[in-house]
A and B are shown apart, each in its own frame.
Chain A
Amino acid sequence: SQQGEEDPQALSIQEGENATMNCSYKTSINNLQWYRQNSGRGLVHLILIRSNEREKHSGRLRVTLDTSKKSSSLLITASRAADTASYFCATDASTGGGADGLTFGKGTHLIIQP
């Protein structure tokens, strides 16, 4: 079942601008993760934020998590052409007593215009 929903589905910006993507989910989570996928390739883990964290940074990436609203955002600052990719949020809601694994949203396709 789909847990995360990214918004927008597609985003096109100029190189150097900031890109913001949002993710909403439905159930309580252990952590939320963001992944990048270049066309048809494997997903690359970008950043993980635990349910008791509100903000996390990694290089040009900034992730926020609001568990009361069940939402997260990914901000990429000073975008580059190489950032063109699809970005997915994934939630880990595993309880240890049943289904286990990440549940992915459908992704935001980001295009950076040179």
Chain B
Amino acid sequence: EAQVTQNPRYLITVTGKKLTVTCSQNMNHEYMSWYRQDPGLGLRQIYYSMNVEVTDKGDVPEGYKVSRKEKRNFPLILESPSPNQTSLYFCASSLKGPYRVYGYTFGSGTRLTVV
């Protein structure tokens, strides 16, 4: 089944303790992206990757890191989490054709709480 898999589904952590949220897709998509969803603010893009070893900042990159060493994986790293990073996180992937006619496939989400 074509899908984007995020882990973990839920995570409670303490301020300052480094964590990684994994994201993997099995569709051979070039493009991958991370979003966070907060009440009243909607979905905001954190980072995206156009292909292996190509990453760039989205609208809210502060406090996050990403890497794209393999096409299928795009982990999100919080080096020193803070309570304002408590949110629902989504990974998404897509083909990137010349006419931009592809929708995104989203993972099921990771609900992160930083205390």
Contacts and interface: CB of A to CB of B under 8 A. Distances in A.
Interface stretch (B11-19, B71-79, B107-115): B107-115
B48 A48 contact: no
Nearest to A48: B103
Contacts of B45: 101-103
Contact of B42 (A33, A42, A88): A88
Given A42-B90, A42-B109, A102 B42 contact: no
B17 to A, nearest CB: 24
Interface residues on A, range: 20 to 34
Interface string A31-56: 10101000011111100101000000
A51 B100 CA distance: 10
Given A40-B88, A100-B56, A2 B107 contact: no
A105 to B, nearest CB: 6
Nearest to B41: A106
B27 interface: no
Contacts of A102: 33, 45, 104
A73 to B, nearest CB: 18
Contact of B40 (A31, A43, A88, A106): A106
B100 A104 contact: no
Contacts of A43: 43, 90, 92, 104, 106
Nearest to B108: A42
Given A40-B88, A40-B111, A101-B33, A45 B101 contact: no
B106 A44 contact: yes
A107 B37 CA distance: 11
**Which are the 6 A-B pairs with shortest beta-carbon distances?**
A45-B103, A42-B106, A106-B42, A104-B43, A43-B106, A30-B100
